[in-house]
Amino acid sequence: MSGFGLEQIWVYLSATPLLHLFATLLAFIVATRINRWVGGTPLLHPVIVAIALLIGFLLLTGTDYATYFEGAQFLHFLLGPATVALAIPLYDHRERVRRMLWPIVIGTMTGIVTAVISAVSIAMVLGADPQTVLSLAPKSVTSPIAMGIAEKLGGIPSLTAGLVLLTGVVGCIVGPWIFRMTRITDPTIQGYSMGLAAHGFGTAYCFASVGAVAGAFSGLAMGLSGLVTAFVLPSIVHLFGL
Amino acid sequence: MSLIIGLSILLGCQFLGEIVSRTFALPVPGPVLGMLILLIALMIRGGIPKSLRTMGEGLLKYLTLLFVPAGVGLIQHFGLISREIWILIITLIVSTSLTILVTSQTLQRVARRDVSSRKHNT
């Protein structure tokens, strides 16, 4: 009898947005704790752990993504205003941009072109599906912008979201190693390169492991490259006939 | 009240961005245009209203949480991911390394030239 009652409650709860909104917040809190507990490694980034926990939860309870998203959409919706809010740190950094205008303009353009062309051409050479290629193209850009770009191009926004997160992890692992090998010690250059190639993950890494100047430059690179990529990526992708 | 004003500014800019993006059928996402509109408005105004800073920085602080719902969407693409897993891994590692390498080398060179030309001028 009590089993039947629980089932009734579950049927009711799993159909309301409440359960999955709550589950998302809970998973994020647990994931943040886990990440702190293992010493803040980017390999177990809170976002990645939270996504894994929630996917496990959905598989276990046999819930489909559409049902989950009814609850989670309230958080997802905030990506739009959050993207607009990236104008705030950009405005705060305007003096820095003015001082280093040329290195920033040239570095940003070269970086973006490298990121997009290398991702698209490697994936195409390896025989990826066109939709996969389009989802990979904006991988270095911060998630809300990357997902918007993927959607406009005809890629798969949620696949892009996952690839962007993995790019961030990869960047935090290979970045410091590349800087050591090529003897790049300037924190502004380290920060800018990490922010451009590995968006918010690179920025978080720079604040935590390099310093405040590197972090600020990384945040600047993330905002600027996101903005510029949204404008130039469609024409670069067209060059590949996609 | 200040949170409401801040959020209204952000949503208003996003709204304008969406209108511009749809009207001219631009490949640029509406929120990115909204960001550009806000940036230009801030430059003209010459400062960030407190309400906007409170709301905007609050959102940016928890930006990573906002990626989670979309990331869970990977559950729908298990087939595609397992089919192309090696392509994805190789592309991500090689392309990300190349991007960091090329960007840092370019910056190193341009910055050095910039500094030396400035020294010549003074």
In angstroms, the CA B71 to CA B62 distance is 15
Asked if A66 and A137 sit in the same domain, the reply is: no
pLDDT at residue A242 tops 80:
no
Closest of B56, B50, B51, B49 to residue B31, by C-alpha: B56
pLDDT at residue A2 tops 80:
no
More confident residue, B100 or B117: B100
Mark yes or no for CB contact A103/B100 under 8 Å.
no
pLDDT tens for each residue of A132-174:
999 999 999 988 889 889 988 999 988 998 899 889 989 999 9
Please state the pTM of the whole predicted model.
0.83
Q: How confident is the model at residue B120 (pLDDT cuts 50, 70, 90)?
A: low
Residue B99 lies in a domain: yes
Asked if A218 and A115 sit in the same domain, the reply is: yes
Which of A77, A109, A136 is the C-terminal boundary of a domain?
A77
pLDDT at residue B76 tops 50:
yes
Closest of A213, A189, A225 to residue B106, by C-alpha: A189
Instruction: Suggest the residue from A55, A59, A83 to mutate for an interface test with chain B (most B CBs closer than 10 A).
Output: A83
Residue B86 lies in a domain: yes
Q: What is the pLDDT of residue B122?
A: 47
Which residues of A are less than 8 Å from B20 in CB distance? none
Q: How many domains does the structure of chain A reveal? A: 2
Return the DSSP state at A228. H
Q: What is the pLDDT of residue A165?
A: 87
pLDDT at residue A99 tops 60:
yes
pLDDT tens for each residue of A181-201:
999 999 999 999 999 999 888
The mean per-residue pLDDT over the stretch A27-42 comes to 90
Asked if A221 and A112 sit in the same domain, the reply is: yes
Asked if B86 and B51 sit in the same domain, the reply is: no
Asked if A11 and A105 sit in the same domain, the reply is: no
Tell me the angle at which helices A101-125 and A212-239 cross, rounded to the nearest 10 degrees: 50
Q: What is the pLDDT of residue A200?
A: 83
pLDDT at residue A106 tops 60:
yes
Residue of A nearest to B80 (CA): A132
Residue B72 lies in a domain: no
In angstroms, the CA A188 to CA B107 distance is 9
Asked if B35 and B85 sit in the same domain, the reply is: no
In angstroms, the CA A136 to CA A128 distance is 10
B103 part of contact set with chain A, CB < 8 Å: yes
Q: Are B2 and B54 in contact (CB under 8 A)?
A: yes
The mean per-residue pLDDT over the stretch B11-27 comes to 93
Which residues of A are less than 8 Å from B28 in CB distance? 152, 230-231, 234
Q: How many residues does chain A have?
A: 242
Residue B30, min C-alpha distance to chain A (Å): 8
Which structural domain, as residue segments, surrounds residue A63? 2-77
Which residues of A are less than 8 Å from B68 in CB distance? 24, 27-28, 47, 50-51, 54, 72, 75
Asked if A143 and A208 sit in the same domain, the reply is: yes
Rounded alpha-carbon distances, angstroms, from residue A117 to A133, A140, A163, B95 = 11, 12, 16, 9
In angstroms, the CA A171 to CA B88 distance is 15
Residue A13, min C-alpha distance to chain B (Å): 18
Asked if B59 and B8 sit in the same domain, the reply is: yes
Asked if A67 and A95 sit in the same domain, the reply is: no
Q: What is the pLDDT of residue B28?
A: 83
Please report the ipTM that was assigned to this predicted complex: 0.88
Which structural domain, as residue segments, surrounds residue B107? 80-122
More confident residue, A3 or B15: B15
Which residues of A are less than 8 Å from B106 in CB distance? 106-107, 110-111
Kindly give the residue spans of alpha helices, DSSP state H, lying in A15-100. 17-37, 46-61, 65-77, 79-85, 87-92, 94-99
Asked if B12 and B55 sit in the same domain, the reply is: yes
In angstroms, the CA A24 to CA A20 distance is 6
A7 part of contact set with chain B, CB < 8 Å: no
